[in-house]
Amino acid sequence: MISGKAKVCGLMACPVEHSLSPLMHNFFAGEMGIDLAYVPFLVKSENLKEAVLGAYALNLTGVNVTVPHKQAVIPLLAGIDEAAEAVGAVNTLVRVEGGFWGYNTDAPGLKRAVKEAGVQVRGRDCLLIGAGGAAKAAAFMLGDEGAASVTVLNRSADRAWQLSEEMNRHFGRTFMTGMALADYEKLPARRWLAVQTTSVGMYPHGDEAPVEDRAFYRTIDIGVDVIYTPARTRFMALVEEAGGRAVGGLDMLLYQGIQAFELWNPEGKVPPEIVDKARVMMRRELER
């Protein structure tokens, strides 16, 4: 039951109707007996400043922000964490004295997802497919977890190099390089840990993959796709057909939400049995 002492959290986005965040956060609150309500807020870009000020004035505990606000919200905040600074995007706000502190939970969400899947990043040679917002979060995670090397493959080689240089500066070591996706045949012969961050293969284009050449997938022993619709992408299918192991994007979605929920409720971690129940619930929702 929601009482007069309830914490109130929500999501600012435009559009907002498609989001699974209200379902997920209210499920966690109900299962853990936490007096919290999470609601969607349709916020247009021109109203973002007023929305953030209003959220603070209304005593909201925390807010998620997503498209198109993940960069625009940063100047409106009291400060941001290291991941948000490196990635250049915020998706979670936590109430502090005088305003909100901004976090990026995509990178730690991906970190928890790969760890739960038993994937070891430290010391690995990695491929990062894509150079957009999701790629930045993945690049930060790979660098933070101690990847030996990361090769960014992107349609635009310039963007791949730009992301590489940003991360090399941030971590103070030269471990990331960039190249055009079309030049994948020039990759050195290694067994790669590959993270796929583009939108290629996302519903309703589930029959597509960023690379179609099956020889490419024989170089990948673990392939992680951040896409969660469909649950098994063509990228994942090609990795598995070539003898590798594939990890889907649903757990990244789940764990980035858990990171936010735990920032708003630091008194308790979401237990594994509730995580499992939430995964089943979200998979069922996505399959509707």
* C-alpha span between 210 and 237 (Å, rounded): 12
Q: DSSP string of the chain? A: ---TT-EEEEEEESS-TT-SHHHHHHHHHHHHT--EEEEEEE--GGGHHHHHHHHHHTT-SEEEE-TT-TTTTGGGSSEE-HHHHHHT---EEEEETTEEEEE--HHHHHHHHHHHTT---TT-EEEEE--SHHHHHHHHHHHHTT-SEEEEEESSHHHHHHHHHHHHHHHTS--EEEEEGGGGGGS-S--EEEEE-SSTT-TT-TT--S---HHHHTTEEEEEE---SSSS-HHHHHHHHTT-EEE-SHHHHHHHHHHHHHHH-TT-PPPHHHHHHHHHHHHHHHT-
Residue 70 is among the residues annotated as catalytic for this protein:
yes
Q: Under 8 Å CB-to-CB from 280, ≥6 apart: which residues?
A: none
Cα separation, 23 vs 288, whole angstroms: 14
Q: Which of 5, 49, 70, 115 is catalytic?
A: 70
Catalytic residue numbers, as ranges: 70
